Structure 1
């Protein structure tokens, strides 16, 4: 069975055949959390898929927010995408260097909320590309600056007040993509957080459960596999959903998975646990 929206995911062999297509722009969305001793900017310079530009989610974000990589205003998104030479008439193929397509799914979601639907995530990302011994290059691609246009659609974004109200109304289901131990407050968060646990009423669906043979293939599950993962977590796929995680990165993976199988009544709580857990006025469950 094929995906309902197959254009949101491309395979490595397809991209290899289209690297020279001027209507395609490859985007390296690699991002590492503070606990990971790796430098995404340096790694991009050392090796990346030919023609790729680096999309830094810690730069293309809201400047004044105390939270990491929050959605920026449309004007800033336009300007910084333009500096990367991105055009509205291009199709963006997005990848990252970690298994699970976390940051690439986040960037895919960002383009969608700013009105650019012609984007896809590379299934398996850079790890699969390298394992298949496909071409790489180093250095920096510096295309000419462009006038990229963006229009913000807030229907796919939730803020803490909306999530708090939803605890009572239960209009939307809250799906937390963090690991089991983080969801239950058994281990420290990746980003410094004063409290541990989860938002009341949320269900836990670790993003790794949506991946096929996680830590081996790093590819998205089949449509039936995705549905089974959501069903096992107790998620009603006929109802609206809010995804959340630690800082709004891995929450994009279940959001992408739901889009692939045709469920688009979904939004992301951008602040996620890094905001919620650091606010003593907001309720938590452990």
Structure 2
């Protein structure tokens, strides 16, 4: 159980189906982007899960149950007690290992990235649970290979969860403000190049945090096959930013702290252990007029 890769293939999962220690979790949330701009419409993936999921999967509700209900921002981490209670109910905890997937559910855009799965995986590691893998290509790849789906409701025995919270994995607005002038901290903006440049006429606060580098979260896998690019190609995407320097600290951010977890996961995969996610991301940063934002043409 200690040698689980950060990302596993569909073959890897299929070979382990039926293992009593295995847990499978569907973390899908749907984001529907309007054609004329504006914020996306966010919807639970539960109904889609109920129609068909990988056999043995439970549904982990990031939208309704695993984000802070009383926060001013969407998708920020809930209290530890709330999160751990839900994980133990799902059967995820000590003595188990979990494969997490999603449906690549960015409606209106073609992106191959399991960022909802990586969000749940990041939250689990943040709370001290390491026996987690992301399913490469998610449900789309599983289905494309002709593998079986199930509509049966799944449940596991209640688990115990004894890991400790790793506060260093979460960056605050104040951490980011300090990082702007800190040459030993690399800020990675995970949004699209257009969003990074601030090409949003409907949003005067679009753009990026000063000193941050743009490495688009949707550029790391083949859009057709959903297969992740090899490590050399992944490494090339991050090298210019110096984010792979083991002597640097890296903070990833995006719009709301979801895609940033995919970037953080890939940095971990490439050997950079010192990565934090700015949980509030641009949702928080842009809402504070005192926080500077840069627009650029290139």
TM-score computed with the length of structure 1 as normaliser: 0.91
Q: Which runs of 4+ in 1 moved over 6 A?
A: none
Query: 1:196, 1:39 → 2: CA distance?
Result: 26
Match of 1:201 in 2: 211
Q: Which has the higher contact order (CA 8 A, sep 6+)?
A: 1
8 Å CA contact 1:210–1:254 kept in 2: the answer is no
TM-score computed with the length of structure 2 as normaliser: 0.87
Query: Does 1:54 pair with 2:66?
Result: no
Question: Out of 101, 104, 121, which is 1:95 matched to?
Answer: 101
Query: 1:76, 1:194 → 2: CA distance?
Result: 36
Residues 274 and 124 of structure 1: is their aligned pair in 2 closer, same or farther, counting only changes over 3 Å?
A: same
Query: 1:67, 1:38 → 2: CA distance?
Result: 16
Query: 1:220, 1:81 → 2: CA distance?
Result: 28
**Match of 1:256, SS?**
helix
Question: Out of 45, 48, 72, which is 1:66 matched to?
Answer: 72
**Match of 1:120, SS?**
strand
Query: 2:29, 2:57 → 1: CA distance?
Result: 15
Give the aligned length. 276
Q: Which digits, 9 at most, give the CA deviation of each residue in 1:147-167, with x for residues without a partner?
A: 333421111110001101111
**Residue pairs, 1:187-198, within 5 angstroms:** 187=200, 195-198=205-208
8 Å CA contact 1:100–1:124 kept in 2: the answer is yes
8 Å CA contact 1:6–1:260 kept in 2: the answer is no
How many Å apart are 1:184 and its aligned residue?
Answer: 1.2
**Superposition RMSD in Å:** 1.9
Q: Which digits, 9 at most, give the CA deviation of each residue in 1:111-166, with x for residues without a partner?
A: 11111111000011111000001010014223343333342111111000110111
Match of 1:122 in 2: 135
Match of 1:135 in 2: 148
Q: Which digits, 9 at most, give the CA deviation of each residue in 1:198-228, with x for residues without a partner?
A: 11111100012222x2x21222221111111
Contiguous gaps of at least 5 residues in structure 1:
none
